[in-house]
């Protein structure tokens, strides 16, 4: 009964996180554009303070080794809630906004690996993907509500960025309370927090590729919609809502597909789709009419959003190959740090590419990364869940 109650608390908590995150995702690029009028290069440079907490997450987690995973998840959402509240209420200058954004981002990134590791604790053997799919489906529904709240609020109720971020903050804080109400697990020793294992090297490499690909979606895909296609906050919120509606069915089905077909097939399929998505972002306006290009960009954004959930396959992969079950949470956390080394770098490089060559070449780079990801995912062994790296 205790485990069932904990699962209910967890589902409610991650759904509130998804609701709050959706409000931020729907508004943040327009908030930057309207509040600070930053340049394309500044938008790329912004990823340094925003993504630096992702790099630091394994070190912060190690310093907090005396806190159990569930308690750390609660603390992370408190930080996210406080940070986004400060962003909305006290960002009188661009530099002050960066400081508050760092606090929000630290909480957000601390929670990312814990979300997956805690979620997998509620799975039965052989159904880990299905359980993560169910959790992601619930989060997806909550994200839709967040996007719809932004769409309705900005269209009909004079909602502004300050109020939006108060609402988002409240969601994160309530999520923290719900996770705190769960039965705490045991803390892991400090020595285990910073450990790299040779057996997990393919997992680390896949996270590097994910980090570079993820940054293009989070940073430059919405920036294309806002600055190249001149779309407003309501449009981005609508696209997130449409992707969320599709995701209600797609994410649970994806989880079941991971269990049935294995991580290798799913991650290779994702890479193929992302090649097409990157080319669509970069070259639709060159090859098609303005209207057709806009709808292609919309479609790419929705598909790209759905592909983010393929991260479930990396989580189930590390669970299957873990030498010790206690490695799962630590390795997922290490994966976040590793992927952010490269996501920060790709953001800075891409900002320079955007202003010197054009946004098309940012997404051409993304297509190249997707091709590398395709060949890398093919190295996963699904027969015995051991690493199969060809020398």
The structure tokens listed for 92 are: 């009188």
Segment of 24-38, 85-99, 167-181, 330-344 carrying the highest mean pLDDT: 167-181
Residue span of the structural domain in which 140 resides: 2-188+196-377
User: What is the average pLDDT across 312-337?
Assistant: 85
Q: Which of 306, 255, 239 is nearest to 135 (CA)?
A: 255
Q: What's the pLDDT score for residue 190?
A: 57
**Residue 236 or 368, more confident:** 368
Please report whether residue 333 resides in a domain: yes
- State the alpha helices, DSSP H only, in 68-93: 69-90
Does residue 300 contact residue 282 with C-beta atoms inside 8 Å? no
Please report whether residue 384 resides in a domain: no
Interacting residues of 337 by C-beta distance below 8 A, sequence separation 6+: 54, 55, 56, 57, 58, 59
**Residue 10 or 127, more confident:** 10
User: What is the average pLDDT across 332-342?
Assistant: 83
The pLDDT tens digits of the residues spanning 86-137 come to 999 998 888 899 899 999 999 999 998 898 889 888 888 778 888 888 888 8
Q: What's the pLDDT score for residue 386?
A: 46
Q: What's the pLDDT score for residue 388?
A: 41
Instruction: Indicate if the pLDDT at residue 383 is higher than 60.
Output: no
Please report whether residue 149 resides in a domain: yes
Segment of 27-31, 155-159, 376-380 carrying the highest mean pLDDT: 376-380
The pLDDT tens digits of the residues spanning 34-68 come to 888 777 667 667 777 777 888 888 888 888 888 88
Of 172-181, 195-204, 326-335, 341-350, minimum mean pLDDT range: 341-350
Please report whether residue 366 resides in a domain: yes
**What is the rounded CA–CA span in Å between residue 248 and residue 21?**
17
Q: What's the pLDDT score for residue 343?
A: 78
How crowded is the C-beta side of 37, counted as CA atoms within 13 Å? 0
User: What is the average pLDDT across 12-24?
Assistant: 94
The DSSP secondary-structure symbol of 200 reads G
Q: What's the pLDDT score for residue 40?
A: 66
Of 231-240, 315-324, 354-363, minimum mean pLDDT range: 231-240
Instruction: Indicate if the pLDDT at residue 173 is higher than 90.
Output: yes
Q: How far is CA 371 from CA 178, 361, 366, in A?
A: 41, 15, 9
Instruction: Indicate if the pLDDT at residue 227 is higher than 60.
Output: yes
Look up the CATH number of the domain holding residue 336. 1.20.1250.20
Per cent of the chain over pLDDT 70 is: 94
Q: Which of 300, 314, 294, 302 is nearest to 366 (CA)?
A: 300
User: What is the average pLDDT across 136-141?
Assistant: 87
Please report whether residue 362 resides in a domain: yes
Cα separation of the two ends of the chain: 49
| Tally of structural domains, the chain | 1
Burial class of residue 217 in the structure, from the number of CB atoms within 10 Å of its CB (0-12 exposed, 13-18 middle, 19+ buried): buried
Instruction: Indicate if the pLDDT at residue 32 is higher than 90.
Output: no
The pLDDT tens digits of the residues spanning 251-291 come to 889 999 999 999 999 999 999 999 999 999 889 988 888 88
Please report whether residue 387 resides in a domain: no
Q: What's the pLDDT score for residue 375?
A: 94
Q: At 295, is the pLDDT very low, low, confident or very high (cuts 50, 70, 90)?
A: very high
Please report whether residue 306 resides in a domain: yes
Interacting residues of 63 by C-beta distance below 8 A, sequence separation 6+: none
233-261 helix and 290-307 helix, angle to the nearest 10 degrees: 50
Please report whether residue 386 resides in a domain: no
**Residue 184 or 344, more confident:** 184
pTM of the model: 0.77
């Amino acid at each position: 009964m205790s485990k069932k109650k904990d699962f209910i608390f967890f589902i409610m908590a991650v759904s509130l996180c998804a609701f709050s995150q959706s409000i931020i995702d729907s508004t943040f690029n327009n908030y930057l554009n309207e509040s600070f009028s930053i340049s394309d290069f500044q938008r790329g440079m912004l990823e340094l303070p925003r993504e630096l907490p992702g790099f630091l997450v394994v070190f912060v987690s190690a310093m907090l080794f005396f806190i159990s995973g569930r308690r750390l998840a609660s603390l992370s959402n408190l930080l996210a809630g406080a940070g986004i509240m400060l962003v909305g209420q006290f960002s009188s200058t661009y530099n002050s906004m960066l400081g508050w954004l760092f606090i929000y981002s630290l909480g957000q990134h601390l929670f990312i690996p814990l979300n997956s590791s805690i979620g997998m604790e509620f799975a039965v053997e052989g159904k880990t993907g299905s359980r993560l799919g169910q959790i992601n489906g619930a989060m997806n529904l909550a994200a839709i509500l967040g996007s719809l709240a932004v769409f309705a609020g900005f269209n009909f109720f004079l909602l502004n960025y300050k109020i939006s971020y108060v609402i988002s903050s409240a969601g994160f804080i309530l999520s923290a309370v719900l996770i705190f109400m769960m039965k705490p697990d045991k803390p892991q020793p400090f020595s285990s927090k910073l450990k790299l294992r040779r057996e997990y090297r393919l997992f680390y490499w896949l996270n590097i590729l994910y980090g570079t690909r993820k940054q293009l979606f989070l940073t430059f895909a919405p920036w294309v919609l806002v600055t190249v296609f001149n779309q407003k906050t309501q449009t981005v919120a609508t696209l997130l809502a449409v992707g969320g509606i599709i995701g209600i069915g797609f994410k649970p089905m994806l989880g079941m597909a991971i269990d049935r077909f294995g991580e290798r097939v799913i991650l290779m399929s994702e890479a193929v789709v992302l090649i097409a998505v990157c080319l669509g972002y970069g070259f639709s306006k060159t090859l098609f009419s303005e209207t057709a290009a806009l709808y292609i960009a919309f479609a790419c954004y929705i598909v790209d959003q759905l592909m983010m959930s393929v991260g479930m396959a990396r989580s189930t992969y590390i669970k299957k190959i873990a030498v010790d079950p206690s490695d799962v949470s630590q390795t997922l956390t290490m994966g976040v740090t590793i992927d952010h080394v490269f996501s920060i770098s790709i953001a800075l490089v891409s900002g320079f590419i955007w202003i010197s060559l054009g946004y098309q070449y940012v997404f051409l780079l993304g297509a190249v990364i997707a091709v590398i990801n395709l060949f890398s995912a093919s190295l996963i062994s699904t027969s015995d869940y051991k690493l199969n790296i060809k020398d």
